[in-house]
Amino acid sequence: MFELQIIINGLLLGGLYALMAIGMSLIWGVTNVVNLAHGALIMLGAYTTFWLFKLLHLDPFVSLAASFAVLFVFGFLIQKYIINFVIRAKMFITLLLTFGLDILITNVAQTAWTSNFRQTSPSYASDGLSLGIITVPYVRLAAFTISIALVFALYLFLKKTKTGQAIRAVSQDIDAARLMGINVANTFAITFGIGAGLAGVAGSMIGVLIPITPHMGEILTLKSFVIALIGGLGTIFGPLVGGLFLGLVETFGSFHLGAKYADVIVFGILVATLIIKPTGILGKNNE
Amino acid sequence: MNKILKYAFLAVTAALVATVPLYSGAFITRFLIGVILYAIMAEGWNVIAGYTGYPSFGNVVFFGLGAYITALCMINFHTPFILSLVFSSIAGALFAIIIGIPILRLKGHYFAIVTLGIGETMMAITFNVPFTGTGAGLSLPLAINPNLFYYISLIVLVIFIVFLKFILSGRLGYGMIAVREDEDAAKMMGIDTVAVKIKAFAISGFFTAIAGGIYAYWSTFIDPPTVYDPVISIKMIIMTVFGGAGTLLGPVAGAFIIMFLSDFLSTHFTILHTFFFGGLIVMTAIFLPKGLMDVLSQKGIGWKYFIENIRKHRV
């Protein structure tokens, strides 16, 4: 009975994790930048929703759209006016750059909003759907549904729209894409914007579930990377599989070993994946 | 003549550096101990990242481990400070070898992220195992003479630099640079790349752990969030890259300049200090990826030098 409840909780958390990581996976797959500021973007999304809720009493699930828009613009500008400048430099330089952005965003957030714990807490936060022996919290159910819907929406966007096709073309071959008349710099910026926007939406919903602090992003960057890695790069549904997997393992692990070890479990999975199958569960076998 | 001047200059500098605590106040000595400890750690990062080409984002684990080993030795077994430092350094090197064997096979992004995770993981473990005092931290005995830390850390830094200079002119040094430039080619030439990488990581861990041990006794109190703080890794990285990764004295120069600026800003312009580390890292990555030592070695320098990175690598 407990086990069933844990599976439900794990899966619901996993859906949210998938949304959190899909932005990182997309940016990584297309621009070859591992965005170490991803957790900071998630944190910004959480704060956006928190302030809209606190100041304008906007429902957190309504302000998701605002969160996406704010983070899209922010991400677009970062890529276009900062990362694009050095995007073809050595891998270490882009890692260092996004690491610097992470610290910059985190420190500014800490100065502006202090490191007090905050939480977006709508009136229905603790309500749930009782199904006999198990309970499904509405908030987690909604977060899960929206996450899965957005993953599918991203899939359709990349497959069906012209911009989506441009993104896929650039990820396959920059030079060929440019010859076809695609503006590579703008496509990179849009990609980063979408990744950041999805991170923002994930952050908005995470902020309803766990406390918000300027430093919440550090572990979330690591988790996003682990999920992107488990799922395999260059696939759209990879992060979905990775997210559900991590959600389940983490929930089970915390239940049996204690919540303090949750981060150790994440790291264990990371190292194990890298050693056993570095291309991920759904990943292709070539580099 | 020039040579004599150079040696005279070096001798005067050495004499000045060696006597600082005798005439400067406690404040300046304290500041310089911080600079020297960071210089040791930055040089440690330089060995694995600057010379060997494996940018670790979690070298703080060696610092934290060293701090804890020294603290535990001094508290539980009352070992003398210097002996505790020896234990710390050995533990740092051993830990580097143990984690190095699996993770030094990884490249690029993978290596960077795994090292980032090691710091977080060690912090979580230290929080949870019983003998480390968990979240409450450990208190060490008070040192009798605060100048002791200045001299010990200075000696360690000098030994490290001389040792590194010796290494670099030998087989291991050339091996490290060969691995950095092209690992596959190095392997083809018969270099045991695995051994080279692990040795470099062990040297890095060895000296970083000593810095941790000195810090523990110096500050007299350690707890997991302080000694496993990811910001310490960030500082090592930016000091080395800003000063010049892969140069012998770049990390020392970087440590001094950045500590000075950081201290100055945090006392006089608190708001600007918020932007300092992040902004400096971003600027360095864009305009100064080769570091200060490279700037100094250029003959004529203009604004073109600083945008070369952008010109070459933008889309």
User: What would the pLDDT profile of B220-275 be if each residue is shown by its tens digit?
Assistant: 999 888 899 888 998 999 999 999 999 999 999 999 999 999 989 888 888 888 88
**Res. B196: pLDDT tops 90:** yes
Q: Is A85 on the interface with B (CB under 8 A)?
A: yes
Q: Which of A81-90, A172-181, A194-203, A229-238 has the lowest mean pLDDT?
A: A229-238
**Res. B110: pLDDT tops 50:** yes
Pairwise CB contact (< 8 Å): B55 & A107? no
* 3-state class (DSSP) for residue A129: strand
Q: Which of A116-120, B170-174, B211-215 has the lowest mean pLDDT?
A: A116-120
- Which tokens sit at B69? 């080993």
Nearest CA of chain A to the CA of B55: how many Å? 7
Calpha distance A3→A1 (Å, rounded): 5
Q: What's the rounded mean pLDDT across residues A217-222?
A: 88
**Res. A132: pLDDT tops 80:** no
B33 within 8 A of B47, measured Cβ to Cβ: no
pLDDT of residue A282: 61
Q: Which residues of A touch B234 (CB under 8 A)?
A: 99, 103
Q: Which residues of A touch B110 (CB under 8 A)?
A: 229, 274, 278
Select from B161, B144, B135 the least CA-distant residue to B218.
B144
pLDDT digits (tens, 9 = 90+) for A153-168: 999 999 999 999 999 9
pLDDT digits (tens, 9 = 90+) for B2-30: 788 888 888 888 888 888 777 877 888 88
pLDDT of residue B309: 83
**Average pLDDT of chain A, as a whole number:** 89
Whole-complex ipTM = 0.86
List residues bridging with A134 in a β-sheet: A131
Kind and range of the H or E run holding A130: strand A128-131
Pairwise CB contact (< 8 Å): B313 & A85? yes
Kind and range of the H or E run holding A135: strand A134-137
Provide the pLDDT confidence category of residue A150 given band limits of 50, 70 and 90.
Answer: very high
* Cβ-nearest to B110 among A96, A267, A274: A274
pLDDT of residue B248: 92
**Res. A28: pLDDT tops 80:** yes
Q: What's the rounded mean pLDDT across residues A91-111?
A: 92
Q: Which residues of A touch B309 (CB under 8 A)?
A: 85-86, 89, 93
- Which tokens sit at B74? 């001094």
If you search the block for the tokens 């203009």, which residue do you land on? B302
pLDDT of residue B284: 92
Domain at B28-313: CATH code = 1.10.3470
**Res. B176: pLDDT tops 80:** yes
Q: What's the rounded mean pLDDT across residues A62-77?
A: 95
pLDDT of residue A287: 41
**Res. A286: pLDDT tops 50:** no
Question: DSSP state, A118?
Answer: B
Pairwise CB contact (< 8 Å): A225 & B121? no
- Distance spanning both ends of chain A, measured CA to CA: 43
Within A82-210, residue ranges assigned H as helices are 91-113, 138-160, 162-172, 174-179, 184-209
| Most confident by average pLDDT, A71-75, A86-90, A129-133, B78-82 | A71-75
Select from B23, B101, B26, B103 the least CA-distant residue to B58.
B103
Within chain B, residue ranges assigned H as helices are 2-23, 26-45, 60-72, 81-103, 108-128, 147-168, 171-181, 183-188, 193-219, 224-227, 230-243, 250-268, 270-287, 292-297, 303-313
Q: Is A175 on the interface with B (CB under 8 A)?
A: no
Provide the pLDDT confidence category of residue A232 given band limits of 50, 70 and 90.
Answer: confident
Q: Is B116 on the interface with A (CB under 8 A)?
A: yes
Q: A256 versus B187: which is more confidently predicted?
A: B187
* Cβ-nearest to B121 among A111, A225, A264: A264
Q: Is A266 on the interface with B (CB under 8 A)?
A: yes
pLDDT of residue A280: 60
* pTM for this predicted structure: 0.89
Q: Which of A283-287, B64-68, B85-89 has the lowest mean pLDDT?
A: A283-287
**Res. A257: pLDDT tops 90:** no
**Res. B308: pLDDT tops 70:** yes
Calpha distance B42→B250 (Å, rounded): 9
pLDDT of residue B177: 94
List residues bridging with A135 in a β-sheet: A130
Calpha distance A92→A104 (Å, rounded): 18
* Cβ-nearest to B309 among A89, A95, A105: A89
Nearest CA of chain B to the CA of A134: how many Å? 31
- Which tokens sit at A235? 């696939």
Nearest CA of chain A to the CA of B37: how many Å? 22
Select from A158, A235, A232 the least CA-distant residue to A191.
A158
Q: Which residues of A touch B274 (CB under 8 A)?
A: 107-108, 110-111
**Res. B93: pLDDT tops 90:** yes
- Which tokens sit at A156? 């359709």
B310 within 8 A of A86, measured Cβ to Cβ: yes
- The residue extents of the domains of chain B are 28-313
pLDDT of residue B1: 63
CA B205 to chain centre: 9
pLDDT of residue B88: 95
pLDDT of residue A219: 86
pLDDT of residue A234: 65
Residue A100 CB coordination number (10 Å)? 26
Residue B83 CB coordination number (10 Å)? 13
Q: Is B277 on the interface with A (CB under 8 A)?
A: yes
Distances (CA, A) of B175 to A108, B95, B105: 42, 22, 16
> Minimal Cα distance from A215: which residue of B?
B230
Q: What's the rounded mean pLDDT across residues B299-307?
A: 80
- Which tokens sit at A122? 């709508």
